[in-house]
Chain A
Amino acid sequence: MLIVRRPVRRLLVALLPLLALAAAACSDPMTTTDPQSDFADTVHGVYQIVTILAAIVFVAVLALTLILAIVFHERPGRRAQQFHGNSKLEVVWTIIPVAIVTVIAIPTFRAIADTTDPAPDDAITIAVTGHQWWFEFEYEGTGLVTANEIHIPAGRATSFLLRSDDVIHSFWVPQLAGKVDLIPGHENELWFTPHENAARPEPYLGQCAEFCGLSHANMRFRVYVDTPQNFSAWIEAQQASRIAPANEATAAGETLFLSSSCVGCHTVKGTAAAGSIGPDLSHIGSRSTIASGIMDNDRESLIRWISNPDREKPGVVLMPAFESQMTQEQIASIADYLLSLQ
């Protein structure tokens, strides 16, 4: 992190755009300047051209302002020259912005074309539905439904069909692509191909980028870019239905889960739980976070969440607080069961 120590402000002002680049490049998880897909590359290419131009204009205009202010400061004996304009000069500085704008426009138009051509045929298609305040993902043609965390393969295109169930949201994973809105009554499409070498164990962080109500700040998600082999393995594991309880504790948890109102809202494949109001929990144990990325997926968080979701994520009204209906032991037993759904 860069820390401004000395008050060399004027110099600094001139250097700020460069600082911006430097500051953002240092591996912040949602940085927009470390692209990891073809889409993000295209955007970043235009961004770099434009940023360099912007920096030049910035330095030039600010320097000019400063110089004029110093040179033409009043002093004894100076008289202001009286003139009203100069056509030649004015033509020149009409041409300068025209030229700059043209230089920006050409790569812009090219990038627009590049980022809106149709997805290749072999692309994986994921339907994304925005809910207040979580993302639902459905892998087309596989029956696989999940929430807030997805896996996609490196080096192969993935196409997202973006819809919303309630208000407008926006789908944004800065390192992988620019944002596209999820609008009720519309379907938008976004596709990109992560770099071959973009696969890594840590997720790429995403976040809803359109204000969508009380917990907009808490509507986050994660995209794991896998190697093709890991991706196939993941798909296969996620397609499996009902994971039989491995021990008595989880068996008790399952019974409790299936006999409470959870089943009206949540689905666990292969069981009687077939609700569709909340996230699909068939493989909840394999996710690293719950509640759209705001809590780690562990026993303690699950207990807190089931006890009172609204306390963890303000505004969650659909899922009731169970602390008044169940004992902490019962909730813990359900949590154990959920964690076993790998």
Chain B
Amino acid sequence: MATAVETLAPPATQSGIWSWITTIDHKRIGALYAITGFIFFLVGGVEALLIRAQLAVPNGDVIDPELFNQLFGVHALTMIFLAVMPMGAGFFNYMIPLMIGARDVAFPRLNALSYWIFLGGALLLTSSFIFGGAPDAGWFAYAPLTSEQFSPGRNMDFYVLGILMLGVSSMAAALNFAVTIINMRAPGMSLLRMPVFVWMTLIISALLILALPPLTVALLQLLFDRHYETSFLSPGGGGDPLLWQHLFWVFGHPEVYILILPAMGIVSETLPVFSRKPLFGYSAIVFSGMAIAFLGWAVWSHHMYTTGLGPVQKSIFAGTTMTIGVPTGIKIFNWLATMYGGSIRFTTSMYFAVAFIALFTIGGISGVMHASPPIDTQQQDTYWIVAHIHYVLVGGALMGIFSGIYYWFPKMTGRFLGEGLGQVHFWLMFIGINLTFFPMHFLGTAGMPRRIYTYDSGMGWDFWNMVATIGALVIGVSLLVFIANFFRAMGQKPTAPNNPWDAATLEWATTSPPPEHDFDLIPIVRGRDPLWFDRDHGHAPAAAPDSAVHIHLPPPSYYPMMMAVGVLLLAVGPMTHLVLTAFGAVVIAYSVWGWALEPTD
């Protein structure tokens, strides 16, 4: 073939490091996302432990203030962008094509590109610790503290450029999944027969596509303010620091749903399976998910109640924010009703799912509390808010993710995570979370501001800080148990049958782990919960005609990874030398060329 001359021939082997670097198989990319996400989760955890060590006692001096101020911001960035989002992406990648009965995502190479750009951005951001200092203005990086004048080091450049890269990655992934879900469902899977997890992924994709542009705009403004003499955000040159806050939170609030909706999707799968009955109020759960996502656009200023908004603005944003409590409440009741009348198998996955309901509810309640602007003037920027976000993101998102890990592990590896160790992991984590984060409500009520590296004794903060630090250690231990469980499981023979939990969705209709092409025969969907529908109506599983005749899987490719290297160079340029940016552009251009002409058979 003529074009083969210009492009690199895809690697022939199916194993070894190059097979992973060039893979475009959604399952392998999913595994890469999940493992990378988990490693960064541990990094973020170590950051958290250092923070807790410093704050365990008043006037602590475990770490110096410079490092502390880097750690609390980077801890947030790591957990949000490098751990929870990618672990969610791991599930999307692995599960969505299987759950909708497809053989891959719509754009497999784009999918690989998303991962490699994500990895580049993650490494760029984290490498800041080695190269002269990590971002030190908190994860929301309020202007004008981030300007060249007040942050002359490279710290904030790592923030801007790292997050820009992560944004490119997320945008590509979101478009990919939206197209995949809309176009590639198995015959018979109408929208309202889609598993809730697929629905949540679709909603998240929409949120990402809409939320990333304002963030990108804000980051570019900051980049130009810092390096090219503009003054979008500095009052000196006619700009306004509040512009950053608006743009950031127009992204930042939907981002919260981007983090929590995967977990909501996961427990909407696991709760019914382990209760052995269908999800209660499927449509209500789907539509309340949409309502949450929609309302999520109209609430961003609740992060800005103390910036001097007028009474009308405050009232409107309070109203919209409280309204989100309604669809959230509906979801919680529907999950509880799913358990009602069931015959519940308390597997580890189910423990995590039930704990998700309880802990997420706590985060939801505290959220409705500071939705009220007057109350928020006392809680904003205190440990109360820290308690709130951690109940939502650890008690919520993370519990959901672990429910998913224990649930899908046999599908992904053919092996089971041990139930005994799983229970130990669960209980330690559950206790640890409450020990760490519940006392933070008391600290906030006692007036402890967040982001302080030191405090005096005599403020009434000593006792609960110590408790919180002990709790954080317990969470740390629980993760060691999980890691042990993981390696124990991986050392065993794969014995998992296709559908060990008697679950209802299509991913359980293929082998564990699935073949490279996912399904030998593309299934036909006859109802919601397709496997249960067939089981209860005595149908044999049906397959789309001809689906085994031509199985087309594109070959692996070097170009996604190569293009990601180009993007990394592009990003490193502004803080080193623009020559690198130019070089990056060349690499990208070459990759696009090769990508476009690469044979795909």
Contacts and interface: CB of A to CB of B under 8 A. Distances in A.
A125 interface: no
Given A32-B379, A69-B344, A217 B318 contact: no
Contacts of B337: 86, 89
Contact of B374 (A42, A64, A75, A213): A42
Interface string B340-369: 111111100000001001100110011011
Contacts of A208: 449
Interface stretch (B97-105, B274-282, B405-413): B274-282
B150 A213 contact: yes
B374 A108 contact: yes
B372 A181 contact: no
Interface stretch (A55-63, A235-243, A330-338): A55-63
B66 A214 contact: yes
A68 B335 CA distance: 11
B420 interface: no
Contacts of A84: 278-282
Given A96-B329, A105-B318, A214 B377 contact: no
Contacts of A180: 306, 308, 377
A119 interface: no
Most buried by A among B234, B446, B464: B446
B342 to A, nearest CB: 5
A179 B322 contact: no
A62 B373 CA distance: 27
A33 interface: yes
B366 A32 contact: no
Nearest to A101: B322
A16 B277 CA distance: 33
Contact of A82 (B138, B150, B277): B277
A178 B341 CA distance: 47
A112 B276 contact: no
A97 B446 contact: no
A58 B281 contact: no
A165 to B, nearest CB: 11
Chain B interface, >50% SS class: helix
B306 A179 contact: yes
B374 A214 contact: no
Interface in A77-111: 78-86, 89-90, 93-94, 96-98, 100-101, 104-105, 108-109, 111
A302 B442 CA distance: 35
A214 B241 contact: no
Contacts of B374: 42-43, 46-47, 108, 111-112, 115, 178
B368 A104 contact: yes
A303 interface: no
A20 interface: yes
Interface string B369-391: 10111111111111000000000
Interface residues of B, number: 100
Interface string A312-338: 001100000000000000000000000
Interface string A204-215: 010111111111
Contact of B446 (A24, A50, A184): A24
Nearest to B463: A1
A113 interface: yes
Contacts of A37: none
A93 B365 contact: no
A211 B447 contact: no
A29 B459 contact: yes
A26 interface: yes
Nearest to A82: B277
A78 B449 CA distance: 51
A229 interface: no
Contact of B145 (A61, A89, A97, A167): A167
Given A32-B446, A43-B375, A109-B318, A81 B326 contact: no
A215 to B, nearest CB: 7
Interface in A162-221: 166-168, 170, 172, 174, 177-181, 183-186, 188-189, 205, 207-218
A308 interface: no
Nearest to A74: B343
B455 interface: yes
Contacts of A33: 445
Given A24-B442, A217-B65, A51 B325 contact: no
A29 B457 CA distance: 11
B176 interface: no
Given A26-B460, A181-B308, A90 B334 contact: yes
A116 interface: yes
Interface residues of A, number: 97
A65 interface: yes
Contacts of A93: 329-330, 333-334
A218 B382 CA distance: 15
Contacts of A83: 277-278, 280, 341
Contacts of A286: none
Interface in B223-263: 234-235, 240-242
A300 interface: no
Interface in A1-43: 1, 3, 9, 13, 16, 19-21, 23-24, 26-33, 42-43
Given A85-B282, A216-B452, A28 B341 contact: no
Contacts of B342: 72, 80-81
Contacts of B373: 108, 111-112
Contact of A79 (B279, B343, B345, B381): B343
Contacts of A24: 442, 445-446, 460
Interface string B468-500: 000000000000000000000000000000000
A247 B464 CA distance: 50
A189 B339 CA distance: 51
Contact of B281 (A64, A90, A172, A185): A90
B532 to A, nearest CB: 9
Nearest to B451: A211
Given A28-B446, A72-B275, A85-B280, A217 B454 contact: yes
B70 to A, nearest CB: 11
B375 A50 contact: yes
A272 interface: no
B442 A23 contact: yes
Contacts of A211: 69, 137-138, 142, 145, 381, 450-451
Contacts of A168: 142, 144-145, 241
Given A57-B361, A105-B319, 4 more contacts: A9-B431, A69-B344, A90-B281, A97-B328
Interface of B: 64-66, 69, 136-138, 142, 144-145, 150, 234-235, 240-242, 275-284, 306-308, 310-311, 314-315, 318-319, 322-323, 325-326, 328-330, 332-334, 336-337, 339-346, 354, 357-358, 361-362, 365-366, 368-369, 371-382, 431, 434, 438, 441-442, 444-455, 458-461, 463-464, 536
Interface of A: 1, 3, 9, 13, 16, 19-21, 23-24, 26-33, 42-43, 46-47, 50-51, 54, 57-58, 61-62, 64-65, 68-69, 72-75, 78-86, 89-90, 93-94, 96-98, 100-101, 104-105, 108-109, 111-113, 115-116, 132, 166-168, 170, 172, 174, 177-181, 183-186, 188-189, 205, 207-218, 314-315
27 contacts: A23-B460, A27-B460, A31-B446, A31-B460, A32-B379, A46-B372, A46-B374, A47-B369, A57-B361, A69-B339, A73-B344, A79-B343, A83-B341, A90-B333, A96-B333, A108-B318, A113-B311, A168-B142, A178-B374, A178-B377, A180-B308, A181-B306, A205-B447, A211-B142, A214-B66, A218-B454, A314-B66
